[in-house]
């Protein structure tokens, strides 16, 4: 089963790490460098799950989650926040915006794959 993932992160290294973690597990990974780019990529694909950072230029993760949830077809698409932030109020804000889960960087590739399989399966 091939799941399509959209990974939004302003760090090229992090986007590469996500790709290297997920592709061997059978995921198709699409990437974007910030929330604005992420909404553009969404126009061309239909991801099974979305991963987003919080701190990004142009449009941060909260704005991106709002933009995704504003599109009817993505109301139920799982969104995992992958960030260096660990503050409870940030997690609560993300959950209130519509995030499904929260993973703190640096991430364990095996746990990331399992988390995606759980929310997208």
Per-residue pLDDT for the chain (121 aa), expressed as one digit of tens each? Answer: 589 999 999 999 999 999 999 999 999 999 999 999 999 999 999 999 999 999 999 999 999 999 999 998 999 999 999 999 889 999 999 999 999 999 999 999 999 999 999 888 7
Question: For every residue of 51-90, which 3-state class applies, written as one string?
Answer: EECCCCCCCCHHHHHHHHHCCHHHCCCCEEEEECCCCHHH
pTM equals 0.94
Q: Half-sphere exposure of residue 45, counting CA atoms within 13 Å on the CB side? A: 21
Please give the domain boundaries of the chain with CATH numbers for all domains.
Answer: 4-108 (3.40.50.2300)
Place of tokens 């929310």: 119
The pLDDT of residue 86 is 85
Residue 82's pLDDT is 94
At 1 the pLDDT is 56
In the three-class reduction of DSSP (H, G, I as helix; E, B as strand; rest coil), residue 117 is classed as helix
């Amino acid at each position: 089963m091939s799941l399509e993932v959209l990974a939004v992160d302003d760090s090229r290294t992090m986007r590469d790490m996500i790709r290297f973690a997920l592709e061997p597990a059978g995921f198709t990974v699409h990437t974007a460098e910030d929330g604005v780019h992420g909404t553009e990529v969404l126009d061309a694909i239909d991801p099974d799950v979305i991963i987003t950072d919080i701190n990004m230029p142009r449009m941060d993760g909260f704005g991106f989650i709002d933009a995704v949830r504003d599109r009817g077809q993505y109301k139920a698409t799982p969104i995992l926040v992958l960030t260096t932030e660990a503050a409870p109020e940030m997690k609560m804000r993300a959950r209130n915006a519509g995030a499904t889960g929260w993973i703190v960087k640096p991430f364990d590739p095996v746990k990331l794959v399992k988390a995606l399989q759980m929310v997208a399966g």
